[in-house]
Structure 1
Amino acid sequence: MQRQWLVLGIIILAYVPVAIDATVLHVAAPSLSVALQATGSELLWIIDIYSLVMAGMVLPMGALGDRIGFRRLMLSGAVIFGLGSLAAAYAPDAGLLIAARALLAVGAAMILPATLAGIRTTFNDAGQRNVALGIWAAIGSGGAAFGPLVGGVVMTHFSWGAVFLINIPIVALVLLLTWRWVPRQAFRSQQKLNLPQAIMLVVAILGLVWAVKSAMKPDIKAMQTLAALVPALLLLVWFVRIQLRSPSPMIDIALFRHRVILTGVVMAVTSMVALVGFELLMAQELQFVHGRTPLQAALFMLPVMLASSCSGPLAGMLVSRLGLRRVATAGMALSGLSFLGLANADFQHQQWLVWSWMVLLGISATVALLSATSAIMSATPKEKAAAAGAIETMAYELGAGLGIALFGLVLARSYSAVIALPLGLTADEQLRAASSIGEAVQVAAGLESGRGLAVMEAASQAFTHSHSVVLFSACVILLALAAVVWFALSAQRCESN
């Protein structure tokens, strides 16, 4: 009996850095931008390559776990995650850091299904298994929510590379404990991996995101963006056709034909887009515009972290009492209203008002996420529960990656359109300063103090305006989706759930 909980402790220890690394770089973004001389597009790739690669790799890695056993999968994933952490900590430029983060994602995609399979295998009693899964879910949501705070604390005393180095002792301990205490399992050597399909999906996703991010650059023409977008879309269509024809598809596309399941997936993606995109936006504004340190920025965002990590039980209770349709619609609508309030609030002089809106955002977005899970799982036949769970995991990771890309796109376009730079800058300096506030900081650092201050003043004003545009746009989209959810989750199908 005691060994079960020891194994759970090892599983949780392995899962902690995976969850934290999804958001730990949010408060480090400004420091990364300056230290690596990264462009606005490179900065977004550094942050969201982790979620995007994981979204495509987690399903075949789950199949690999069935083939070799979750113990071997967790050991292999931990080794890759550790190597990726080392490479990221000492990356000399943005390109190598992006590659290291992609390697981290591969390791994380192995650890994630290994932890779930480990709980399933270790706990035979349904009650104990539910408790273990509840602990696992709390660690996942809490780790992601508090990732920025962890990053802020580490960067108060060390450079940005230490954010990755803290993974090394955890990985070493996981390897030692797993090797010593986690039992071997039976495995199915005939299990198909679908690895080529996973690579196809990852390439299609990255191609789509690359097209979105290329549109952020003021000197990129529409035809150049389309040249990247069209092949990615064609590859994605080809992937879907393969899934529909395959006797053992990586993703059960047929599930998307169910209106409630499709609505749940859209809600999951949208909720993650809102939460992750907002955290990154806030981290940049608080540091670049208001001059806060990474730790101060993380502490300022603490209300949304606490609200999102602690409101899971409330969301479950509301779904049980009020029904999925009402709760899901309310979650999306209140998230939209939160963004409207934040768009009109003064972050410098109305802190308590801002924190109140953050708390509402954290609660409502979490309610929407739990409603998405409920919608997906309640509408899925029992024999396809595993496939639905895999789709849900992909939706969360994809939403996290897209949140950074989409918020970044709207922010960059709005910023470039309104910035009024001082006279006397070279053409290259003007182009860089108008691309992102991070690049404006780099330009200002190379100018004499007077002109540098003028560049930063212009960049700060443009960023503050763009921040309001992004949040107002998110408000409109979420309110529109709330209306869609209300009609999609019909009373006949959902009120009883």
Structure 2
Amino acid sequence: MFRQWLALVVIVLVYIPVAIDATVLHVAAPTLSMTLGASGNELLWIIDIYSLVMAGMVLPMGALGDRIGFKRLLMIGSSLFGLSSLAAAFAPTAGWLIVARASLAIGAAMIIPATLAGIRTLFADARQRNIALGVWAAVGSGGAAFGPLVGGMLLEHFYWGSVFLINVPIVVLVVMLAARLVPAQQGRPEQPLNMAHALMLIVAVLLLVYSAKTGLKGSVSGWQVAATLAVGAGLLLTFVRIQLRARTPMIDMRLFCHRIILSGVVMAMTAMIALVGFELLMAQELQFVHGFTPFEAGMFMLPVMVASGFSGPIAGVLVGRLGLRIVAAGGMALSAVSFIGLSQLDFSTQQWQAWGLMVLLGFSAASALLASTSAIMAAAPKEKAAAAGAIETMSYELGAGLGIAIFGLLLTRSFSASIELPQGLDSGLTALASSSIGEAVRVAQGLSPSLAQAMLAAAKTAFTTAHSVALGSAGGMLLILAVGIWFSLAKVKQG
């Protein structure tokens, strides 16, 4: 009895850095921009490559665990995660860090199904298994929620690579303990992997995100954007056709034909887009515009983290009493209200109003997440519960990646359109300073004091305007989606 709970501690321990790494770089964005010379576009790829790659790899890695046994998958994934953390910590360039983060995502995609399979194998008793799953879920949501705070604390005292180096001793400890304490599991060599399908999905998503980013930024020609978009869309359509025809598909696409499940997927992605995109935008606003340190920025955002982390039990009661439709549509509508309210605030002088709206955002977005889980799992046939759970996991990760991309695009486009640079800059510096606030700050460092001051003032004003546009636009889109969810769930049985 004691041994199985000790094994649970081991397999959950490695899940902590996996969860933290999804959000730990949000407060590090300004630091990375300055120390690595990362452009605004590179900065978005550094942060969102983790979730996008994990979304495509988590399902085939689960199949790999069935094939080789979860203990072996846990140790391989942990080792890859540790080595990738070292590569990320000492990355000399933005490109290197992007590749290292993609490798981290592959390791994380091994760890997540390995931990879940481990809990399922270790705890045969349903009551104990539910307790263990509750611990696992708390670690995941808590790690992701407090990632920015952890990142801020490390950046306050150490160099930026420390946010990755902390993973290494945890991984070493887990590998050593897992070898002794976690029981081996018999694999099933006949289990298919679908690795090619996963790579096709990842490439399709990355090409579509890349075409959107470059198209809105105008950094490449129109025909290149169109070609990239066409290839990405073609790969995605091919992936869907293959899944529909496959005997053992990676994703059961027919589940998307169920209106309730599709609504749940939309809710999950939207809630993650809202939470993750907001944290990234806020971290940059607080540090670049208001002069906060990374730790102060993490502390300022603590209300949204706490509210999202502790809303689960309350939202569960609300779903039971008010029904799925009211909680789902209401959660998205309240998130929209939060965004629209936050878009009008000055965070230097209206902190209490900001904290109140952040609590509302954290609670409402997390409630929409819980409602999405309820919708997906309740609507799926019992024999397809595992496939529905896999779709839910992918929705979360895709939402996290797309949140960074969408908010980043809104921010970049609005910043470039609203900045009014001082006279006396050559065309090259003007184009660079107009692309993002991080690049504007770097340009200002090489200018005369008076010109640099004017440049920074223009950049801060433009970023504040862009922040209002991004949050206001997101709020409007959430209101429209809330109405759509209200009607799509109209025939769902309440209570």
Query: What's the CA shift string for 1:277-315, capped at 9, x where partnerless?
Result: 000000000000011100000000000010000111011
Could you tell me how far apart the structure 1 residues matched to 2:281 and 2:31 are? 14
Q: What is the one-letter code of the residue matched to 2:460?
A: S
Q: 2:182 maps to which residue?
A: 182
Query: What's the CA shift string for 1:113-151, capped at 9, x where partnerless?
Result: 000000111110111111111111111111001000000
Query: What's the CA shift string for 1:230-288, capped at 9, x where partnerless?
Result: 11001000000000011110000000000000000000000000000000000000000
Structure 1's consecutive aligned runs of 4 or more residues displaced over 6 angstroms after TM superposition are: none
Q: 2:71 maps to which residue?
A: 71
Could you tell me how far apart the structure 1 residues matched to 2:55 and 2:189 are? 24
Q: 2:237 maps to which residue?
A: 237
Q: 1:17 maps to which residue?
A: 17
**TM-score, normalisation: structure 1:** 0.99
Q: 1:461 maps to which residue?
A: 461
Q: 2:385 maps to which residue?
A: 385
Structure 1 residue 260 and structure 2 residue 274: aligned? no
Could you tell me how far apart the structure 2 residues matched to 1:226 and 1:334 are? 37
- Aligned ranges for residues 86-125 of structure 1 at < 5 Å? 86-125=86-125
Superposed displacement of residue 216, structure 1: 4.1
| Structure 2 counterpart SS, 1:54 | helix
Could you tell me how far apart the structure 2 residues matched to 1:222 and 1:336 are? 33
Could you tell me how far apart the structure 2 residues matched to 1:406 and 1:215 are? 13
Could you tell me how far apart the structure 2 residues matched to 1:294 and 1:233 are? 38
Q: 1:290 maps to which residue?
A: 290
- Aligned ranges for residues 97-176 of structure 1 at < 5 Å? 97-176=97-176
Could you tell me how far apart the structure 1 residues matched to 2:220 and 2:421 are? 20
| Structure 1 counterpart SS, 2:14 | helix
Structure 1: segments with no counterpart, 5+ residues = none
Could you tell me how far apart the structure 1 residues matched to 2:244 and 2:150 are? 43
- Aligned ranges for residues 207-246 of structure 1 at < 5 Å? 207-246=207-246
Q: 2:315 maps to which residue?
A: 315
Could you tell me how far apart the structure 1 residues matched to 2:224 and 2:408 are? 19
Could you tell me how far apart the structure 2 residues matched to 1:459 and 1:225 are? 28
**Comparing 212-221 and 448-457, the one that deviates more:** 212-221
| Structure 1 counterpart SS, 2:247 | coil
| Structure 1 counterpart SS, 2:217 | coil
Question: Percent of pairs identical after alignment?
Answer: 65
Could you tell me how far apart the structure 1 residues matched to 2:188 and 2:449 are? 66
Q: 1:56 maps to which residue?
A: 56
Q: 2:424 maps to which residue?
A: 424
The 1:461–1:303 alpha-carbon spacing in structure 2 relative to 1, beyond 3 Å, is same
Structure 1 residue 299 and structure 2 residue 294: aligned? no
Could you tell me how far apart the structure 1 residues matched to 2:213 and 2:49 are? 12
Q: 2:494 maps to which residue?
A: 495
Note if contact 1:29-1:43 (Cα within 8 Å) is conserved in structure 2.
Answer: yes
Query: What's the CA shift string for 1:150-183, capped at 9, x where partnerless?
Result: 0000111101001100000000000011001000
Could you tell me how far apart the structure 2 residues matched to 1:233 and 1:53 are? 17
Superposed displacement of residue 221, structure 1: 4.3
Could you tell me how far apart the structure 1 residues matched to 2:411 and 2:450 are? 27
Could you tell me how far apart the structure 2 residues matched to 1:121 and 1:33 are? 44
Could you tell me how far apart the structure 2 residues matched to 1:162 and 1:264 are? 37
Q: What is the one-letter code of the residue matched to 1:327?
A: V
Superposed displacement of residue 8, structure 1: 1.0
Q: What is the one-letter code of the residue matched to 1:70?
A: F
Superposed displacement of residue 223, structure 1: 3.5
Could you tell me how far apart the structure 2 residues matched to 1:226 and 1:449 are? 43
Q: 2:346 maps to which residue?
A: 346
Could you tell me how far apart the structure 1 residues matched to 2:219 and 2:234 are? 26
**TM-score, normalisation: structure 2:** 0.99
Superposed displacement of residue 218, structure 1: 4.1
Could you tell me how far apart the structure 2 residues matched to 1:404 and 1:92 are? 23
Query: What's the CA shift string for 1:361-394, capped at 9, x where partnerless?
Result: 0000000000000000000011101001000000
Superposed displacement of residue 450, structure 1: 1.3
Could you tell me how far apart the structure 1 residues matched to 2:493 and 2:168 are? 46
Query: What's the CA shift string for 1:413-454, capped at 9, x where partnerless?
Result: 111111100011111110010000011111011112111111
Could you tell me how far apart the structure 2 residues matched to 1:45 and 1:390 are? 24
Could you tell me how far apart the structure 1 residues matched to 2:336 and 2:352 are? 19
| Structure 2 counterpart SS, 1:494 | coil
Number of paired residues?
Answer: 495
Could you tell me how far apart the structure 2 residues matched to 1:357 and 1:139 are? 25
Q: What is the one-letter code of the residue matched to 1:125?
A: D
Structure 1 residue 276 and structure 2 residue 276: aligned? yes
Q: What is the one-letter code of the residue matched to 2:242?
A: I
Q: What is the one-letter code of the residue matched to 2:477?
A: I
| Structure 2 counterpart SS, 1:215 | helix
Could you tell me how far apart the structure 2 residues matched to 1:279 and 1:225 are? 29
Q: 1:356 maps to which residue?
A: 356
Could you tell me how far apart the structure 2 residues matched to 1:312 and 1:486 are? 21
Superposed displacement of residue 220, structure 1: 3.6
The 1:429–1:494 alpha-carbon spacing in structure 2 relative to 1, beyond 3 Å, is farther
Q: What is the one-letter code of the residue matched to 2:57?
A: M
| Structure 2 counterpart SS, 1:476 | helix
Q: What is the one-letter code of the residue matched to 1:374?
A: S
